[in-house]
Amino acid sequence: MQISFVSLARSVVLIWLLFWATLSLAQPGTSLRGRPAPEASGRIAERGATDAPLSAGAWVAHGTLTLLPVGSVYATSRLGDERLWATGAQAGAGMVAGWLPSRLLFLRPQASGPRWMELEVATFGVGLVLTPVMSALGTWGMGEAAFHGSRKPGAAFLGAMGGAAVGMLLGLATHGLLEWLVAPGAKLKWARQLIALGIIGAGASAGYQWAGGGPRPR
């Protein structure tokens, strides 16, 4: 299975256009015509007022689950007999490529009403589709261009996309668990999203190594 870089470039352009069009329609706290939503500022202020100090258990959970993507990267290096820093770079490339579309997974519009509920569901669905694709492109491109490549490039890309999809589901579950632990506050939101993104990148790297049959002989 041969993958053309021209086809990949066209796909990336279409994906970015779809992403920015969707994101511009679903910015939190903004109405469809660009004016502030009537209840957005009040709800944001109310949420900020409910922030409370994190418990010791919440800190331990955040620190422990941070080790999950790190351990996955190490296990991946053993799986495909690849160097640890190479699998780490592939996972990092998947994180960078999947960062912007993954924001759609955590987007929570503050305005109420059925119209906003429809947009929230739509943006979440677009994030579910775009995040594993973009993360797989980043991991696959890093592995094929910066390193020795895989034995089966086509299968490696499909494996990276499947691994990123599994990592995305695990990342969302992890994010939801940590969010439940710190409720009703919103502290360390960036850390929870980074942990979830790390799991996605680690999954893409694992799928790339497993389906690609490991690196080509040096």
The stretch 80-87 carries a mean pLDDT of: 82
pLDDT at 104: 87
Any idea where the domains of the chain sit in the sequence? Answer: 19-24+37-212
How do residues 117-142 score in pLDDT, each as one tens digit?
677 788 888 899 999 999 999 999 99
* Range 149-169 average pLDDT: 92
Contact indicator for 119, 109 with CB cutoff of 8 Å: yes
For the ranges 62-71, 104-113, 159-168, which has the lowest average pLDDT?
Answer: 104-113
**pLDDT score for 122:** 82
Closest by CA to 91, choosing from 204, 172, 174, 194, is 204
Q: Taking the model in full, what pTM does it have?
A: 0.72
> What is the average pLDDT across 106-115?
59
Contact status, residue 143 vs residue 163, Cβ threshold 8 Å: no
